[in-house]
A = this chain, B = another copy of it.
Amino acid sequence: MTGIKLAAREEQPKTLIRVGNVTVGSDFVLIAGPCSVESEEQTLRIARAVKAAGANMLRGGAFKPRTSPYSFQGLGLKGLKILEKTREETGLPVVSEVLDPRDVAWMSDYVDVLQIGTRNMQNFSLLKEVGKSNRPVLLKRGMYSTIAEWLNCAEYILNEGNSQVILCERGIRTFETYSRNTLDLSAVPAVKELTHLPIIVDPTHGTGKVSLIPAMSLAAVASGSDGLIVEVHDEPEHALSDKDQALDPDAFTDMTRKVFRLRTFMEELA
């Protein structure tokens, strides 16, 4: 594929990335948590619930990229401190989004995985900066991006010396309005034939609809995904952002049980 060198599949065997007790690329990764960190209590409560259900990493936004400047923009440093404390309490490694190249260095003290969101996939200054970090990077696909463009963004990070890139398919923008985005699961086998980097799937943003998430999570596992990232909130109707797409802990627990059983089955099937 044009332009891809370090990320190209021929370059090396599958990349394995150690985060806490999990090896991304061989273990199945299940990242769960609230859209936004709202308070210490909320975050800890949800973290314990998702851990009990089987999640092996915690997600939570401290800096939120919002369409409107008047929407809740996240707790910032305060949110990161809550995430740090929650990790200490639960042992779950933390994934959180970085929006600004000036935040990369110091945020790396608080989080285990730096997330690049869909709107910043081609924010090349930010890519170069996380490329200089020693933290693994979760690189979401731009909602408007071809697979080729996405892999070139991974190449930007690799080219700066950071080889720990986890790709994340999160849906692309189409004319369909029933779902918030169109989850492109064919990106999973496509990425696997093009690169050695691991890929996970975000069914929450990929569908934007609680009712579609369980089926699409199972489909993601069957397509060969290395993991999932899912929004969970214990009071979805009171969430400060993305309230329509957060699973509650019960639905998440039920789904998780099926996801892990299917993953085991798929490994036997291969």
CA distance A3 to B68 in the complex (A): 6
**Residues of B contacting A207 in the complex (Cβ-Cβ under 8 angstroms):** 186
**Residue A88 at the chain B interface, CB threshold 8 Å:** no
Q: What bracket does the count of chain A residues touching chain B fall in?
A: 35 or more
**Residue A124 at the chain B interface, CB threshold 8 Å:** yes
**Residues of B contacting A144 in the complex (Cβ-Cβ under 8 angstroms):** 142-144, 173, 175
Contact present for B185 and A219 (CB under 8 Å):
yes
19 CB-based A-B contacts, threshold 8 Å? A5-B70, A65-B124, A67-B148, A67-B149, A69-B124, A100-B125, A101-B125, A146-B175, A146-B178, A174-B175, A185-B219, A186-B207, A186-B212, A188-B219, A189-B216, A215-B222, A222-B222, A258-B269, A262-B266
Using an 8 Å CB-CB cutoff, how does the interface string of A171-199 with B read, 1 for contact, 0 for none? 01111111100111110111011000000
Contact present for A174 and B178 (CB under 8 Å):
no
Contact present for B175 and A188 (CB under 8 Å):
no
Given known contacts A68-B155, A172-B176, A182-B182, A222 and B218 CB-to-CB distance under 8 angstroms: yes
Contact present for B220 and A224 (CB under 8 Å):
no
**Residues of B contacting A5 in the complex (Cβ-Cβ under 8 angstroms):** 70
**Residue A256 at the chain B interface, CB threshold 8 Å:** no
Interface residues of A in 200-258 (CB under 8 A from B): 206-207, 211-212, 214-216, 218-224, 258
Using an 8 Å CB-CB cutoff, how does the interface string of A125-167 with B read, 1 for contact, 0 for none? 1000000000000000011101111001001100100000000
**Residue A15 at the chain B interface, CB threshold 8 Å:** no
**Residue A96 at the chain B interface, CB threshold 8 Å:** no
CA distance A259 to B146 in the complex (A): 29
Given known contacts A69-B152, A102-B101, A144-B143, A193 and B175 CB-to-CB distance under 8 angstroms: no
Q: Shortest beta-carbon distance, A170 to chain B, in Å?
A: 13
- Given A102-B125, A147-B176, A174-B184, 16 more A-B residue pairs with CB atoms under 8 Å apart are A2-B68, A144-B175, A146-B176, A177-B177, A178-B190, A179-B186, A182-B182, A183-B186, A188-B219, A189-B216, A190-B212, A215-B222, A215-B224, A216-B223, A222-B223, A222-B262
